[in-house]
A and B are shown apart, each in its own frame.
Chain A
Amino acid sequence: MAHDAPAAALPPLKQVVADFASDKQSFQVPWGKAMMWIFLLSDTFIFTCFLTAYMNVRMSTMEAWPNPSQVFALHLFGRDIPMILIAIMTFVLITSSGTMALAVNYGYRRDRKRTVLFLSATAALGAMFVGMQAFEWTKLIMEGVRPWENPWGAPQFGSAFFMITGFHGCHVTAGVIYLLVTAKRVASGFYDRKGSYETVEVAGLYWHFVDLVWVFIFAFFYLW
């Protein structure tokens, strides 16, 4: 970009001033990417509000908080393994982040076949994650967990659990649909005709964000 050339050579802080100061585009990225980042920023605020509300009710309750290590244990191979389902879900989501990164990379290399393959793999892993979450919900509901009560202690546990994991699960579900649409468009050669694979990277940003949110949920809700 001709008008951008002098700014690129400036030291970073002066570059920021140059980027914001003049009457022109501030972010030197495709508009779709800037908009996705701003959407993710707003989503960060939403998820932080949920996690902060959870912190607040957990700090203020007079009853003992149910021990997640036991609540989320599964009886496998003749013994109770703590949190095993959540660990598997975490690994599935991280794997899907890896395949997503590869899909973006192959997209920029114009390797259509591999891009579709890795996008579909990512969507499949995402669907698997949602499936395991549905299993976890079913198990907990059958054990008597409700948003207003549960058999083990502080009643706020249920509302925090359903709200936080439910909202995250909706994001994963939406992401799976988003990825499938993107994969279909890659397969049809849409981005070759458009001349740019940046849309795949933007879809990747959303998917990595879903994984990112899970990192915080895993730490604060399940491990704390």
Chain B
Amino acid sequence: MNQAAQATEGHQQHPLTVYLWIWLLLFVLSAFSYMVDYFHLQGMLRWTLILIFMALKAGLIVAIFMHMAWERLALKLAILLPPLCLLVLIGFMAIEGDYTFITRGSAFIR
């Protein structure tokens, strides 16, 4: 076994209860997000709840199941920072989508 592997094996071994609790929590959060649809919540409340449950689930999966919480900061930064530039893409495409919508509106509906 190489030394890096030895270090990881020691350090990524966590008690089973951690996983079982997170598993349960993911179930509950999924049930909540399904409830949002089941009870026909609409508008800002719906979108806010969807985003909160989504962020919590994603965070738990990455931090605990994928062990990111226990990795060194160098790996955390290398993996978690680059996706932030996707926010720029999302912002641009939202502006562009809005522009297309307005253009279509003024061109097709008179």
Taking beta carbons and an 8 Å cutoff, which residues of A are in contact with B? 1, 12-13, 15-16, 19-20, 25-31, 33-34, 37-38, 40-41, 44-45, 48-49, 52-53, 55-62, 69, 82-83, 87, 90-91, 94, 97-98, 100-102, 104-105, 108-109, 194-198, 201, 204-205, 208-209, 211-212, 215-216, 218-219, 222-224
Q: What mask results when residues 13 to 45 of chain B are scored 1 for a CB within 8 Å of chain A, else 0?
A: 110100110110011001001101110100000
- The minimal Cβ–Cβ distance linking B8 to chain A, given in whole angstroms, is 6
A215 touches B34 (CB 8 A): no
A201 touches B67 (CB 8 A): yes
Cα distance A91–B33 when bound, in Å?
Answer: 12
Contacts known (A37-B75, A60-B97); A201 close to B12, Cβ less than 8 A: yes
Chain A interface mostly: helix
Contacts known (A60-B101, A216-B54); A211 close to B61, Cβ less than 8 A: yes
One of A25, A33, A62 near B108 (C-beta < 8 A): A62
Question: Cβ of A97: which chain B residues have Cβ within 8 Å of it?
Answer: 23, 26, 61, 65
A196 touches B1 (CB 8 A): yes
Instruction: Look across to chain B and name the residue whose beta carbon is closest to the beta carbon of A83.
Output: B37
Taking beta carbons and an 8 Å cutoff, which residues of B are in contact with A? 1-5, 7-9, 12-14, 16, 19-20, 22-23, 26-27, 30, 33-34, 36-38, 40, 46-47, 50-51, 53-54, 57-58, 61-62, 64-67, 71-75, 77-79, 82-83, 86, 89-90, 93-94, 96-98, 100-101, 104-105, 108-109
B104 touches A27 (CB 8 A): no
26 pairs, CB–CB < 8 Å, chain A vs chain B? A1-B3, A1-B7, A15-B73, A19-B72, A27-B74, A28-B72, A40-B79, A41-B83, A45-B83, A45-B86, A55-B93, A56-B93, A56-B96, A60-B100, A69-B37, A94-B30, A101-B64, A102-B19, A105-B16, A195-B5, A197-B9, A198-B5, A201-B8, A204-B65, A211-B65, A218-B33
